[in-house]
Structure 1
């Protein structure tokens, strides 16, 4: 997810301070619930809401307005991952656009394990990001349009892959940390996800264009924080076949390890829950021959408050984007599958797993 730009700063507005207090109270409830064996519900909707529906509880982000750029924030990205199918053939993809003019694009062939990726930086006069609507344009990628008809285009060099997709948001938004105000690296950020995007369009590989359908996930995060405190993180975007969605973090910084998830139900219910640390049960490690980074390829995700255990498997393990930065020479963005139990019942699903920072 995420491209590093070493710019620091803090917001000092009353709303941000109030948000920190509210986000902290949600997090504390989650910790108490994890200890007691109960999850913390933030909201319950009677029927499945759409992405622009008032969630019925206070949030610090607002749709569709916050799809647009936030020029006063030092960090911001639009990060999309998806699982698409052409006939019987399955692919995963990732496209990130940073307001600093950096793109990341990757395509994974789930059948053969073939993987292609690129990170590229552009000069300020080569890209734009509208503050009035969703309209972000780079020379090799763009994302624009309303919630029910977003248009995503991205191309890898030398004809190695071109995506031309329509994304339609059909389910509720996920407000990370239950409010959309998200504690992050000794500061806060604004953060929501659109995890249920009906996806149609085309994928062109080796000169051959094929029609695709599937489901995508858009992550939106912006704010001001201090990258210098970060060591590394594992992040997961998990969609289960029972309709539950998890945005999961296991983050190491100067203050230690933090591990939690925001869980979204199909009816709009949000729960913020503790997750057991991922590292002790991570397996299938492989070392990148390019960067020397050592990444896991299989994780057991245990959520005591939800009586849930999921096994997340990356195929292949190495799906690395070369970042060419001392802080994070590579970022592993792994198309993954999920099996396990949720509240004691069998589930399957798909995921994207990001390993960011120094993994060696």
Structure 2
């Protein structure tokens, strides 16, 4: 059935074109028949019940939008520091809009460089069992294979080549109790994370190879997410030196529309939800991209249940944008940050939607 579904749009389009050329009067009836066939063969959409792991690590054909998202902080033996991002987005919107957007980035902190790549695949991921096998780019320049808390990533980004293995060292964090969460502005999400994945591997830079170790954060979301993408957000993945992890986010919008939430995972791996009144994020500064002219928050003061933290970018310019080519994805900022305050640590921050609507200072 899955093979037939992949070929069906092109078969129907060919037949409609051929018959309409022969008998144009039949075109409305052909389009009606095609619509009925699409409805019969289209996968079931909508809510699918609570998160089930490791089954939901795999591609889920029922969901319109889904992603597998890794960020991490890695260190060489001599203390050189790097950040990385690897993300696979899958979009299954209409019969002929079924594709993947793949992005990868390397933050070379000591080298003061930020490099990124984007790839588009005009097909959906393969459906697996309890895991994923994702790839993109010529000669598989970006790949992700794994599931159930044991992943392997490969990414070629400019003259950087990253090869790492990630193993979860604590239970997954099930946000919203592992159930579907409806958004005020429309749509819904399922969302879980593996915020502590011990990571080892190599990074080769222009032929020189570094042995790396550190920690990575895996995020998995799926659902009806177009409304959330359009809304825009800022998201924080904070890893504290006392072995706690904090996830915070808020959506852009006016005061009546903003939705924010978060969670905190203790040193034993127990995750609890943070209510909106239990944390506050204050933007401290702005950064204007020399590439796009977009304005982003740059530096935050965060208070969580009475504890205060300062989050600062390790490099100002960690913006993903067009590089003299067709750019399909959003223009956004995603970067490695340092954390100081009640407890020190490290973080990744994502700022989506700020390029089309400049950020403003204030308390969120």
Secondary structure of residue in 2 paired with 1:332: strand
Counterparts of 2:229 and 2:111 in 1: how far apart (Å)?
Answer: 38
1:154 deviates by 1.0
Counterparts of 1:110 and 1:129 in 2: how far apart (Å)?
Answer: 35
TM-score (norm 1): 0.75
**Equivalent pair of 1:129/1:137 in contact (CA under 8 Å):** no
Given the superposition, is the C-alpha separation of residues 70 and 283 from structure 1 closer, same or farther in structure 2, using an over 3 Å criterion? same
Instruction: State which drifts further: 174-183 or 105-114.
Output: 174-183
Counterparts of 2:153 and 2:247 in 1: how far apart (Å)?
Answer: 22
Counterparts of 2:67 and 2:206 in 1: how far apart (Å)?
Answer: 29
Q: Over residues 30-57 of structure 1, what are the superposed CA-to-partner deviations in whole Å (9 max), with x where a residue is unaligned?
A: xxxxxxxxxxxxxxxxxxxxxxxxxxxx
Alignment match, 1:131: 128
1:69 deviates by 0.5
1:12 deviates by 5.3
1:284 deviates by 3.0
Given the superposition, is the C-alpha separation of residues 90 and 354 from structure 1 closer, same or farther in structure 2, using an over 3 Å criterion? same
Q: When the two structures are aligned, how many residues end up with a matched partner?
A: 295
**Equivalent pair of 1:229/1:253 in contact (CA under 8 Å):** no
Given the superposition, is the C-alpha separation of residues 122 and 230 from structure 1 closer, same or farther in structure 2, using an over 3 Å criterion? closer
Within 5 Å, which residues of 2 pair with 1:265-304?
265-273=266-274, 274=276, 275-278=278-281, 281-303=282-304
Secondary structure of residue in 2 paired with 1:257: coil
Q: Over residues 307-341 of structure 1, what are the superposed CA-to-partner deviations in whole Å (9 max), with x where a residue is unaligned?
A: 22111111212200116999985210010011122
Alignment match, 1:67: 57
Given the superposition, is the C-alpha separation of residues 230 and 164 from structure 1 closer, same or farther in structure 2, using an over 3 Å criterion? same
Which has the higher relative contact order, 1 or 2, with Cα contacts under 8 A spaced 6 or more apart? 1
Counterparts of 1:187 and 1:153 in 2: how far apart (Å)?
Answer: 32
Secondary structure of residue in 2 paired with 1:63: coil
Alignment match, 2:344: 348
TM-score (norm 2): 0.74
**Equivalent pair of 1:328/1:358 in contact (CA under 8 Å):** no
Instruction: State which drifts further: 162-171 or 137-146.
Output: 137-146
1:358 deviates by 2.9
1:348 deviates by 0.8
Within 5 Å, which residues of 2 pair with 1:136-151?
136-139=134-137, 140-147=141-148, 149-151=150-152
Secondary structure of residue in 2 paired with 1:66: helix
**Equivalent pair of 2:175/2:192 in contact (CA under 8 Å):** yes
Counterparts of 1:101 and 1:321 in 2: how far apart (Å)?
Answer: 17
Secondary structure of residue in 2 paired with 1:256: coil
Counterparts of 1:217 and 1:121 in 2: how far apart (Å)?
Answer: 23
Given the superposition, is the C-alpha separation of residues 356 and 130 from structure 1 closer, same or farther in structure 2, using an over 3 Å criterion? same
Counterparts of 1:71 and 1:182 in 2: how far apart (Å)?
Answer: 19
Secondary structure of residue in 2 paired with 1:302: strand
Given the superposition, is the C-alpha separation of residues 169 and 329 from structure 1 closer, same or farther in structure 2, using an over 3 Å criterion? closer
**Equivalent pair of 1:297/1:315 in contact (CA under 8 Å):** no
Given the superposition, is the C-alpha separation of residues 284 and 256 from structure 1 closer, same or farther in structure 2, using an over 3 Å criterion? same
**Equivalent pair of 1:291/1:329 in contact (CA under 8 Å):** no
Given the superposition, is the C-alpha separation of residues 182 and 357 from structure 1 closer, same or farther in structure 2, using an over 3 Å criterion? same
**Equivalent pair of 1:197/1:217 in contact (CA under 8 Å):** yes
Counterparts of 1:326 and 1:205 in 2: how far apart (Å)?
Answer: 25
Do structure 1's residue 176 and structure 2's residue 175 form an aligned pair? Answer: yes
Alignment match, 2:120: 121
Could you tell me which runs of 5 or more consecutive residues in structure 2 were left unpaired when the two chains were aligned: 1-42, 91-98, 359-364
TM superposition outliers: structure 1 runs of 4+ over 4 Å: 9-13, 323-329
Counterparts of 1:210 and 1:326 in 2: how far apart (Å)?
Answer: 31
Counterparts of 1:266 and 1:282 in 2: how far apart (Å)?
Answer: 28
1:97 deviates by 1.0
Q: Over residues 242-287 of structure 1, what are the superposed CA-to-partner deviations in whole Å (9 max), with x where a residue is unaligned?
A: 1211111011247521222111113232222225453xx3123111
**Equivalent pair of 2:231/2:253 in contact (CA under 8 Å):** yes
Counterparts of 1:228 and 1:135 in 2: how far apart (Å)?
Answer: 26
Instruction: State which drifts further: 65-74 or 144-153.
Output: 144-153
Given the superposition, is the C-alpha separation of residues 339 and 91 from structure 1 closer, same or farther in structure 2, using an over 3 Å criterion? same
Query: Which of 1 and 2 has greater Rg?
Result: 2
